[in-house]
Amino acid sequence: MIDEQNKTEAPHLSKKILDLIEQKGLNPKPKWHFFVREWVVWGMVCVALLIGSLATALTIYIGNASRFMEHHILFSDLLFLFRLVPFLWLFLLCIAIFYTVYALRETRRGYRWSSSWLVALAVGVSILIGSSAHALGVGEAIDRYLLTEMPMYRPLTNFQPKMWMDTDQGVIAGTVTNVEKETFTLQKLDGEVLKVVIITENDNHPFRMPHEGMRVRVVGTTTIEGGENVFKSTLVQPFHGRGGPLTNHVRISQPSEMKER
């Protein structure tokens, strides 16, 4: 019964619609309208992926810079360790991934992909590009710029250069100024000069002796020998401290080169 009724009305609807189109002066939207929309959406996807990649690069960089501390504080200060996690950049990474998935769904055929596949794609691309950016020093450059130009950024990422100057904590950093047989002089980041003795029986040293001008971080304990403060080191490593000018950062050679020394 419904079909018969429809058949009676069928010849009139197309005419009615054409009359309505004529009356309202309607025209099809031009092709470029849809073309531009699609490109805008893909542009949003690219911007979101770029932000995700940068957030990944910074997460890797700050995570690596902090990793030394986690090994040597040995979980004695979990709150301190917790604060070393780059939450700001992880949060931005999550936002970027969410937005990438949302924008991909808005593309012409994006609805055909499942959410889990889109999330995996967004995460994968962010990690791939972010890792490459980190290897090129992009994360470090951005972190250094923000630490220098935006003071409000420092507390957000728990930037604490002082943690490298605390001999009581057993972790110091600075520039090697003088090298002797099993000792070297270290000018700490705060300018204080300290004699460092390398304990030879310890196998943790990736290389035996740093060279003058090298920036290092040192783990050990403070003792007094012959009336002077001496730092007995159990570990010496190249130092890629965060903050650039704020910690007077100077580029040093890679660990593999130092191992050959």
Report, in Å, the least distance between residue 42 CB and another protein. Answer: 15
Q: Is 23 one of the binding residues for another protein (CB under 8 A)?
A: no
Cβ closest to another protein, residue 9 vs residue 203: 9
The CA distance from 70 to 80, in Å, is 9
CB of 26 to another protein, least distance (A): 6
Site string for another protein, 81-120 (x = CB under 8 A): ---------------------------xx-xxxx------
- What is the distance between the alpha carbons of residues 163 and 3, in angstroms, rounded to a whole number? 82
Question: What would the 3-class secondary structure string for 72-118 be?
Answer: HHCCCCHHHHHHHCCHHHHHHHHHHHHHHHHHHHCCCCHHHCCHHHH
- CB within 8 Å of 154: residues ≥ 6 apart: 147
Residues contacting another protein: total by CB under 8 A? 29
Question: In sequence order, which ranges of the chain are alpha helices (DSSP H)?
Answer: 2-24, 31-73, 78-84, 87-105, 115-135, 138-149, 153-156, 255-260
For residues 112 and 251, which CB has a smaller minimum distance to another protein in the complex?
112
- The residue from 14, 23, 76, 256 that contacts another protein (CB under 8 A) is 14
Closest distance between another protein and the C-beta of residue 15, in Å? 7
Q: Of these, 16, 67, 71, 259, which contacts another protein (CB under 8 A)?
A: 16
Residue 28 beta carbon to another protein: minimum distance, rounded to whole angstroms: 5
Give the residue with the Cβ less far from another protein, 92 or 104: 104
Q: Which stretch binds another protein (CB under 8 A): 4-12, 85-93, 95-103, 154-162?
A: 4-12
**How far apart, in whole angstroms, are the C-alpha atoms of residue 60 and residue 13?**
63
Nearest to 60 by CA among 52, 71, 72, 50: 52
Question: 2 or 78, CB closer to another protein?
Answer: 2
CB neighbours of residue 64 within 10 Å: 14
Q: Pick from 199, 54, 197, 222: which is nearest to 132 by CA?
A: 54
Binding track over 24-63 against another protein, x by CB under 8 A: --xxxxxx-xx-----------------------------
Cβ neighbours, 10 Å, residue 62: 23
- Cα–Cα separations (whole angstroms), residue 35 to 16, 134, 243: 31, 35, 45
| 3, 149, 168, 203: residue in contact with another protein (rule CB under 8 A) | 3
Torsion of CA 82, 244, 214, 232, to 10 degrees: -30
CB closer to another protein, 12 vs 181: 12
Binding positions for another protein, rule: CB under 8 A: 2-3, 6-7, 9-11, 13-18, 20-21, 26-31, 33-34, 108-109, 111-114
